Amino acid sequence: QLSDQQKMSESPLIRFRGVYLPPALHPLNKTLVKGGEWKDVDSAQENRRSFLHDFCKKYNSRKKLRTHLMHLVSRIYVEDRHKILYCEVPKAGCSNWKRVLMVLNGLAASAHNISHDDVHYGKHLRKLDSYDLQGIYTRLNTYTKTIFVREPMERLVSAFRDKFEHPNSYYHPVFGKAIIKKYRHNANEEALKTGSGVKFKEFIQYLLDSHRPVGMDIHWEQVSKLCYPCLINYDFIGKFETLEEDANYFLQLVGAPAELKFPKFKDRHSSDERTSAEVVRQYLKELSKEERQLTYDFYYLDYLMFNYTSP
């Protein structure tokens, strides 16, 4: 005996049960874009969108994707003023994206004076799963949805360097201790006590272990499981490799203030060399050929979806 209100709010769920094909690819609304310098960025964008759509059509015809709606949208941030949905992919410019969303939302005057802790622990931005079903469904259908991704091995190495090569009061005791205990033979007492000094090879052993001593983490979880790009029809696919031009073009698309530009600064450990293809190569040398292949296999879907060349 559901009330009419309940019936109405529950109906959107039906559309998410056992989805086979991605929703139709809608054209991007480009009416707010000014100036002719965006031609190349726009062309790359259209290629990425159609590539992902075609991939999902092929992939979904073989594999039925099922997941709970609330889990599906749990990584998506909402900016209601400019009608933006942003799916957070850690280590792909997410800190600066959250700063930009805060500025767009009127929570800060500039992206440059928002601290790292304020961005990640301030709880200033709402996530899509905090709305009721009707609110979620309406936003998914009417807001501009964006995702920013990164070459999977680069993202993985960047996460390892950030969380395990610098002092960290969460990742060392929670992940580090468990990793050292399981994968380091003859580990000394200090390492077992602090969890500091995890080696990249040990981290990869943990990643590839189907019986991991601790669970997964968003910093190295596959984008296919963070943002579900074959179930949610992202309007805009940005890449870390072309972060500034993609981000600034996106800001034009959604009618952001002309003076707002995507920040260039590195969020933390600014003196460290950025994780590049060459840096990744050095880390991968520590692995056996088999471990390298298995790590690639782990991120295989991400490589395919976003048309990254296998390393």
Which whole number is the average pLDDT over 92-102? 93
Question: Is residue 161 scored above 50 in pLDDT?
Answer: yes
What is the reported pLDDT for 63?
53
Percentage above 70 pLDDT, the chain: 87
- For CA atoms 158, 159, 162, 165, the dihedral sign is negative
Tokens matching residue 238: 């940005």
Mean pLDDT score, 276-291:
96
pLDDT at 37: 87
Asked, for residue 107, whether it belongs to a domain, the answer is yes
Residue 144 domain-assigned? yes
pLDDT score, position 20:
41
| pLDDT at residue 78, as a whole number | 97
53-76: average pLDDT: 79
Q: Is residue 32 domain-resident?
A: no
In a domain, 181, yes or no: no
Q: Please indicate, yes or no, if residue 237 is contained in any of the structural domains.
A: yes
Return the minimum-mean-pLDDT range out of 184-198, 261-275, 286-300. 261-275
Per-residue confidence (pLDDT) for residue 264, from 0 to 100: 83
Residue 158 lies in a domain: no
**Polymer length of the chain:** 311
- Mean pLDDT over 190-195 rounds to 96
Burial 163-181, CB ≥16 within 10 A → b, else e: bbeeebeebbeebbbbbbe
Total of domains in the chain: 1
Distance set, CA 237 to CA 41, 43, 70, 217 (Å): 11, 12, 22, 23
pLDDT at 26 over 70: yes
> Would you say residue 139 lies in a domain?
yes
pLDDT tens, residue by residue, 46-57: 999 999 999 998
Look over the chain and give the mean of its residue pLDDT values, rounded to a whole number: 88
The C-alpha angle 154, 248, 82, rounded to 5 degrees, equals 110
Percent of the chain with pLDDT over 90: 70
Asked whether residue 46 is domain-assigned, the answer is yes
Please give the pLDDT value at position 118: 78
Q: What is the pLDDT of residue 2?
A: 45
Q: Does residue 35 carry a pLDDT above 70?
A: yes
pLDDT for res 32: 85
Please give the pLDDT value at position 108.
85
* Average pLDDT estimate for 211-215: 95
Q: Which of 65-69, 70-74, 165-169, 223-227 has the lowest mean pLDDT?
A: 65-69
Q: Is the pLDDT of residue 76 over 50?
A: yes
Higher pLDDT residue, 73 or 265?
73
Predicted confidence (pLDDT) per residue in 120-132, tens digit: 767 789 999 999 9
Report the pLDDT averaged over residues 292-304.
97
pLDDT at 61: 56
CB count in 10 Å sphere of residue 19: 19
- State the residue range of the domain holding 260: 38-153+222-275+301-306
Q: Please tell me the predicted confidence (pLDDT) of residue 267.
A: 65
3-state SS record for the chain: CCCHHHHHHHHHHHCCCCECCCCCCCCCCCCCCCCCCCHHHHHHHHHHHHHHHHHHHHHHHHCCECCCHHHHCCCEEEECCCCEEEECCCCCCHHHHHHHHHHHCCCCCCHHHCCHHHHHHCCCCEEHHHCCHHHHHHHHHHCEEEEEECCHHHHHHHHHHHHHCCCCCCHHHHHHHHHHHHHCCCCCHHHHHHCCCCCHHHHHHHHHCCCCCCCCCCCCCCHHHHCCCCCCCCCEEEEHHHHHHHHHHHHHHCCCCCCCCCCCCCCCCCCCCCCCHHHHHHHHCCCCHHHHHHHHHHCHHHHHHCCCCCC
More confident call, 273 vs 307: 307
